[in-house]
Amino acid sequence: MCEILTICAALSCTVLYFAHRKTPALLATTLMFWGAALMWSVDCAVSALEGEGFFDLSLDDTYLGLVILAAGFAVWAVLALRDRRRARAAA
Amino acid sequence: MACFTVPLAEAVIVATAQSLGGHAKSRNPFLARLGWLRDMAFGGSFLLAIEHVWHGEITWRFPFLTAVENGETSEMLREMATSGVAMALLVTTAWVCMVLVSMLREHPSAATEA
């Protein structure tokens, strides 16, 4: 579920970036989620080669996915605040 | 176990190269977009580090990796050499594809001439 939630977050941020707000903070967050999704896909592939399922659909992994989403959006908030301060300082 | 350290090292190298070279305004499309690779590698490593903390594979005490504490260093290094390198290569390949797509979007005539 962690991988699935990360991919959903990456897709959502990508759509939001291209359709609505092309901000540096959103771009960095989008790239962060895509980087994590790609890295986890390697982990999932290794698990599948070892005989386990590609996706871990356990409740524990779902909670982890929610924590990952929270961390990712916390990074977005920090970057957005930083960009706003910089814009104000420049103005 | 510590597979995220390989893309993290790649991110550090890319960020260092960026800060030393100042490639943001470079005419080379790959150098100009090194920030994308840096963000993907750093961000992905950060989120994977959270996962490793969640699973107890990273601790706050030296040596910080439970695999080293438990004497599984060789297995950890093997995982870094396989999964870690594969992660770094996949992220880098995705970045190359992203740069090529952005080049085609900016210069569609180049695609038609090709």
Chain B residue with minimal CA distance to A30? Answer: B40
- Which residues from chain A sit within 8 angstroms of residue B39, using beta carbons? 27-28, 31-32, 35
* pLDDT tens digits, A17-73: 988 778 889 999 999 999 999 999 998 898 888 888 777 778 888 999 999 999 999
Q: Rounded to an integer, what distance in angstroms lies between the CA atom of residue A31 and that of residue A25?
A: 10
Whole-number Cα distances in Å, A7 to A28, B37, B109: 15, 18, 33
Q: Rounded to an integer, what distance in angstroms lies between the CA atom of residue B35 and that of residue B18?
A: 8
The β-bridge partners of B16 are none
Task: Please state the ipTM of this predicted complex.
Answer: 0.88
Cβ–Cβ < 8 Å for A2, B51: yes
pTM of the model: 0.87
A10 vs B: CB within 8 A: no
- Which residues from chain A sit within 8 angstroms of residue B43, using beta carbons? 28-29, 31-33, 35-36, 72, 75
Nearest chain A Cα distance for residue B88, angstroms: 8
